[in-house]
Amino acid sequence: AQSVAQPEDQVNVAEGNPLTVKCTYSVSGNPYLFWYVQYPNRGLQFLLKYITGDNLVKGSYGFEAEFNKSQTSFHLKKPSALVSDSALYFCAVRDIRGTGANNLFFGTGTRLTVIP
């Protein structure tokens, strides 16, 4: 069975500092991994994905994530945080069950607060 863990409910970082939002996963076979961001009263916005290839994936708004197979991790990073990055971040893995569409299995979310 697949699972995604986001060990931190809340991450606080000062503006301009690097940020990391952690995610670990468990799947059978090769993982398809995703990060989404949710701003207040908004839907989920796609940030980036890892399917195959380079372990460092670059996404929207200056975010990147590093796929680490040995540690089964897919941490989200940004070199310099902005106040506008404050939001709820979800890590997700593709559900490999069934033969249908690419159903996503989400983590519990991490609330990022960037302090001015």
- Provide the binding-site residues for other proteins, judged by CB under 8 A: 32, 34, 36, 41-46, 49, 51, 90, 92, 94-95, 97-109
What is d(CA 61, CA 67) in angstroms, rounded to the nearest whole number? 19
The helix (run of H) or strand (run of E) holding residue 112 is: strand 110-115
Nearer to other proteins among residue 13 and residue 90 (C-beta): 90
Shortest CA distance to 77 belongs to which of 25, 67, 46? 67
Minimum CB distance to other proteins, residue 52 (Å): 11
* 3-state SS, residue 7: coil
Side chain identity at residue 67, one-letter code = F
Nearer to other proteins among residue 46 and residue 62 (C-beta): 46
Minimum CB distance to other proteins, residue 72 (Å): 19
Nearer to other proteins among residue 103 and residue 113 (C-beta): 103
